[in-house]
Structure 1
Amino acid sequence: MAFITEETIEKARNIDLLFLAQQLGESLHRSGQSFFTYRNGGENTPSLSINPTKHVWKDFGGTAGGKDAISFYCYRKYNDPYLKGKDFVQAVEEICELCGIPIEYQDGGSRTFDDVVYKPRIEIQKESPKATPGYLHEVYSKWIKQFDLKKPHLFHLKEVRKIGPQVAKIRMYRSYSDDMKERYGITKQLAAKGVKLDGVPGFAVKEGKYGPYWTSVGRAGLLIPFRSINNEIQGFQIMFDEKPANGQKYGWFSSPINPDKGTIQGAEIGNPVLPYHAAVPAQVLLNWILYKGELSDHMETDTVWWGEGALKGDIASNYTKQIHLQVPGVNNWRLLLEPTISLRPKRVIFSFDADAQTKEDTVQTNVLNAIEGAKKELKPHGIELAIALWPVEKGKGIDDLVNNGYKPQIVSI
């Protein structure tokens, strides 16, 4: 077996992901900086994301992902992003041939492919890494106070979510306007007070008619704070007033670099990881805000619930009177390990949506994988596992269930 030089491997590794995907004949659907296609195994909705600007790819329907072209090609062609030995060498050779990259071997030999001209489409750009948790909380706490809660959002929270105005105020839900002048003005006030916005997701430098300027970005909607177990706001989701073309109901308050939209500097909420949300009863949250301290100073933490969605967790915690740690999607369950272990509970209860318990597709599989993975991680800490079960006709999510007057059955795992 001829050995390929490290220089050639690096060239293959750094091939523009968009160019490679197009050479592979992928069916691509653009959404912002990302291009979506269908993941291995088949599905109805594209959930494999390629972000050529950041040179990353992710299978949102599973666990695969990577930061280079070789791992993407190996996943696509061999269903294994991490080939080794002669299989890895073969994959690199195939990538080079597909993309027109000359191959150089350690013995001095070489191969060229003149029928393909490599044309990178995207210049790789890097966003600022997120600021520290404490600084994010400082900036977000000042920023959120500049907004109020508009009538349409108050109506939705009260009539649909069964959350009254006082509870909504305690939880700091706010309306995010699409008024660009208002956004710019609020951001300018923060900057005038010496607040540095570099590394704070949601704030970005835009290229304007009179030069670059700081502002906040994202679609209009209901701002939902994500809090840590230290009661620090670590980010926001936005429940959109109008669904975007991709049909997503929620999105992050985040500011990835996007030259197409004039964003030349920013920070993404997932760089390096997405936040989780620690949902506690509203009265506990109020006391926690007023009197500070540890969460254990204000409530028992013997039982911790795991679920999906910040609003769902807020509603459910008011009912159970216990802490609910929430992630934006079941595949992100590992985000809950560190805060859970820190709380030292006796039991963790899985409370993902009822349809996740019955759907015979990736949703159910992902929940089962999460349970098995959590067992391995939590058992050594003496933490028992249980799952909350209920018929889907009583409510899709646990928030629907408790608002409809029912309670789940808790079964030990």
Structure 2
Amino acid sequence: MANENSAYVFIHLGGQWVPCGYLTIIEDRREVHATFQYGKRYLQRRDAIAIDPVQLPLGENLFRSRPASPLFGAIRDTAPDGWGRHLLARAAEPQSPGEFQYLTALPVEDRTGALGFGRSLEEGPAPINPGWPNYPPQGATLDLGDMIAAVDRIDKGENLPPRHRRFLLRGSSLGGAQPKAPTVHQGRRWIAKFGREREAWNTCRIEHATLRLAARCGIDVPNSKTLMVGNRDVFLIERFDRDSAGNPIPFISAATLLATDDLATGSYQEIAAQMRKHIAAPAVQDDLRQFFMRMVFNILCNNADDHIRNHGFIYLPGLGWRLSPAYDVVPQPDMGPKMPRNLTLGVGKDGSRLATLENALSVSPVFGLATADGRQVIERLKEVFLSGWEEVYLRWGVPEENFPFIKEAFVNHLR
């Protein structure tokens, strides 16, 4: 028997939450689909924006989702992924969450982007009680040390002590598969990423150093830092979906532009084609050039986890949709000299994923770059990257015992 649940959808515009539409999610065993309709008052607002420019353009009609994106892309972007779903499943025990609960049981202030959900227009955006025992999880306000302790217990399959159970909601509000949680540090909003206990590959410092190397190459990246908490590293990346006052900024992933949830599909060229449709003309050429640079950088650093949710776009008033700062840029250890290097996204002609600079150059005109210009961009990034990576990684504290593996990941394909 199908299970149907509905909620009002709110968006943060002009410094306040405003209702924008009504969402219904129908779940029949493993089959999920949704409907959405904008509110008439929202459509009359001069500052109204399409929350999903591809699947939910502004209009009065009732939208029905498709199998490739059963929750609609922009709605799905606000929901948790592997790590967050695991935490919510723990919070729901002995029950099992459905897609509606995964989406709506989360704290409003912590979720990605500028959408919220609620049962009533009067109450506004607020977590919807899923009816689980002990919901919402109670406990102490957690600092980074408490969060690390909670992550370790969860990784080991242990029960959390009562004071840590709040983490089951706090840590579940973001996308991605790795342990993370929103936090406030020095008055600003950050995402904290936690390394695993006794990991040989220092992910926190390597990701931080890689972003700093990307910045040196001219790629737009958020502020980031690493902190030592006890004897563990924590990687902090400043939230670019929040403004200086902490207000939410609309965000969509490249998955939303491609109207699919399949992380194994898509190419840089397909995303570039959608950027031409949805980024305003004065900015699109700059963003396309930046996107080409990110493709090249991912090849250079062997970031094979470059799937369609690891590229995003933010909405800026008066400017429209723009390419967001780069995020989740992490080198992957080399799989051996005989293994071909591939990215997750297609790089070259005909969707080839082969991670070579020649393959990237073959599609430079798609990004508005003549072949000679594309070659110049590639050569500049290659020179800055190869001449500077060791200095950058040493400066930001990457353990030297990781360097042989990093070097193999970075430069094997250039020999």
TM superposition score normalised by structure 2: 0.23
Relative contact order higher in (CA < 8 Å, ≥ 6 apart): 2
Instruction: Find the structure with the greater CA-based Rg.
Output: 1
